[in-house]
Structure 1
Amino acid sequence: MKVAICDDSLVLANQVDTLLHNYDMKRFDVDVFTNPLRLLASLADNYYDFFILDIEMPEMSGVVLAGQIRDFGNANPIIFVTSYKEYMEDVFALHTFDYLIKPLTQEKMNQSLKRLTNYLGLQSRRFTFTFNRTSHSLDLTEIRYFEKNRHTVLIHTRDQIYETSMTTADVLAKLDHRFVQVHQSFIVNVNAVKHLKNQSLILNDEIIIPISRKYQRQAKIAIMAALREMMS
C-alpha cells in the first residue's frame, strides 16, 4: 500500500513512518512530506491508498489539506493526528477514517491500521460484467456511479464509461453498503459524494446526481449509515 504522511515536523513524520513499518515492514510504501503543498503537487503523479495528516501545520492545516485532497478526487481514507480533540467535528465532515490523539504509541497505531487494512480489504471486491461478448472486471473503488440508460447500464469511473446489459436489481446484487440507489436511474458510490443536498448529490468532480422523491428519505439514511460504518 502506498501511503502519504504529512507533518511539518520531520521528527514526528519519521516517527509515524517507524510505527507503520513496525506494524508491517513489507506492506507500506511511504512518502513523507513536511510541506502540504508538496503533497498536493505529488497527487498528479502518485496514487495513495491512504493518508496520515497532522492537523496543526503552519503552511496549511491538515483539515484544509484534506479538503483539497478530496477536491482532487481522491476519496481514500485519511487518518488525522493531533494534540487536540476540538477538530473532530470538522474532520469527520471530510469522511475521516480515524482521529489519533498525540502522543502516538505503537498500540494506537496498530489498532487504527488493523481497522484500516480490514476496510481496504473489503474495498478490493470487484464488479464483473459482460458487454459485446467481452468480460470486464472493475474494482468497486473505481466505480463512481451507475446510470440506467433504457436497456443498458452505464458504469462511470473517473477515466472511462463502460456499458453493460443488466437490470438495476442485478447491479445492486453485486454491490455492497458503499453503493446507494438515489434515483430510478442512478446508483452512487458514497465515497464519491462531496455534498448531500435535498434533491441532489454533488460528487467530488462536481457531477450532479438527482435524488428522486421516491428515494429521497432512504437515500439520505443509507448514505449517512454507510459513512458511519466506514468510520467505525
Structure 2
Amino acid sequence: MLNIYISNNIEYWREKLRFLDQKVKCYENFDLSINYNLGICDSIDDLIKLKDINNKCILIFIIDNYEQIFEYQKFNIHYYLRKNFFEKDIEKIKDSLIALLKNKNKVIKFNSGLIEYEINIDNILYIESYRNEIIIHTKLLDYSRRFSLKKILKELDNRFVQCHKSYLVNIENVTSLFYDHLEINNIIKIPVGRKYQLLVKNKYQNYQNRNF
C-alpha cells in the first residue's frame, strides 16, 4: 500500500499536483494492491499526525525556501517541492515514485484464453499443483494456469519456498509452523513434506529473526 500526503491546501498547488496524481496512478492495477491517496494537508502538524497514524506513508512538503528543509528535517519528510522550482522537482518526485512502485510491485503475467492476468507477487498466499495445472491463491482471487511448480518458482522471489511436492508458500504469510504442516494467516493449513522440512524451517526462522 502506498499512501502519499502533500502539504499546503491552496487551490493553485492542488491543480499543479494533479500531474503527479495522474502520472503515478497509471501504475495501479486491480490485483496490484496499490492504494494511492493524494492527500492535501494544511500544515506540517497535519503531516506529522498522518505519519503517526500510518508510519508507511510518504510525506511531501511544499516549501518557499531552502531554509525550511533544515527546519523540518527532524520530521523525516521524504520529498520537498520548492515553489520556485516546482516543475523540476515534481518531475524528479514522479520518477522516484514510479521507480518505487516498479520495485515494490513485481508481477507475474500469464494468459488464460483471451484474458491477460497480472498478479502482484505480494498478494500471493500460496500455490498448489493439481494435475496439469497450478492454482495461484491470492488475497483476492484464485487463478489457474497450465504450468509447473518448478517453473513458477523461478518467477518468484526468495519469499517463496516449496514445502511439499504440490505446494509453494509465501513465507511472509506463514503464521505457524509444525512438524508436518504450516498455517497461513492462522486459517489455511498446508502440508509440509518430509524432504522439505529443514528448508521450510530455516526459511521461516530467518524471516522471523529478520522481522523481530
Calculate the TM-score normalised by the size of structure 2.
0.54
Q: Indicate which of 209, 214, 218 corresponds to 2:195.
A: 214
Write the distance in 2 (CA, Å) between the matches of 1:149 and 1:204.
22
Write the distance in 2 (CA, Å) between the matches of 1:162 and 1:22.
31
Q: Indicate which of 169, 174, 194 corresponds to 2:155.
A: 174
Write the distance in 2 (CA, Å) between the matches of 1:226 and 1:152.
29
Write the distance in 2 (CA, Å) between the matches of 1:119 and 1:17.
22
Question: What is residue 115 of structure 2 aligned with on the other side?
Answer: 134
Q: Indicate which of 162, 182, 187 corresponds to 2:168.
A: 187
Cα separation, partners in 2 of 1:157 and 1:136, compared to 1, 3 Å? same
Write the distance in 2 (CA, Å) between the matches of 1:182 and 1:151.
19
Question: What is residue 74 of structure 2 aligned with on the other side?
Answer: 106
Question: What is residue 100 of structure 1 aligned with on the other side?
Answer: none
Question: What is residue 25 of structure 1 aligned with on the other side?
Answer: 60
Given that 1:19 and 1:106 are in contact with CA atoms closer than 8 Å, whether structure 2 keeps it comes out as no
Question: What is residue 131 of structure 2 aligned with on the other side?
Answer: 150
Given that 1:177 and 1:226 are in contact with CA atoms closer than 8 Å, whether structure 2 keeps it comes out as no
Given that 1:127 and 1:137 are in contact with CA atoms closer than 8 Å, whether structure 2 keeps it comes out as yes
Amino acid corresponding to residue 189 of structure 2 in structure 1: I
Calculate the TM-score normalised by the size of structure 1.
0.50
Deviation, 1:17, is: 4.5
Deviation, 1:129, is: 1.9
Note the residue ranges of structure 2 that are not aligned, 5 or more in a row: 5-44, 62-72, 79-96
Deviation, 1:160, is: 1.6
Write the distance in 1 (CA, Å) between the matches of 2:134 and 2:74.
46
Amino acid corresponding to residue 126 of structure 1 in structure 2: V
Q: Secondary structure at the match of 1:222?
A: helix
Write the distance in 1 (CA, Å) between the matches of 2:167 and 2:138.
14
Write the distance in 1 (CA, Å) between the matches of 2:163 and 2:56.
41
Write the distance in 2 (CA, Å) between the matches of 1:19 and 1:163.
35
Deviation, 1:228, is: 4.3
Given that 2:164 and 2:192 are in contact with CA atoms closer than 8 Å, whether structure 1 keeps it comes out as yes
Write the distance in 1 (CA, Å) between the matches of 2:162 and 2:74.
40
Write the distance in 2 (CA, Å) between the matches of 1:171 and 1:22.
32
Deviation, 1:132, is: 3.0
Question: What is residue 162 of structure 1 aligned with on the other side?
Answer: 143
Deviation digits for residues 99-134 of structure 1, max 9, x if unmatched? xxxxxx938x579xxxxx999864411011222353
Larger C-alpha radius of gyration, 1 or 2? Answer: 2
Q: Secondary structure at the match of 1:25?
A: strand
RMSD: 3.8
How many aligned residue pairs are there? 140
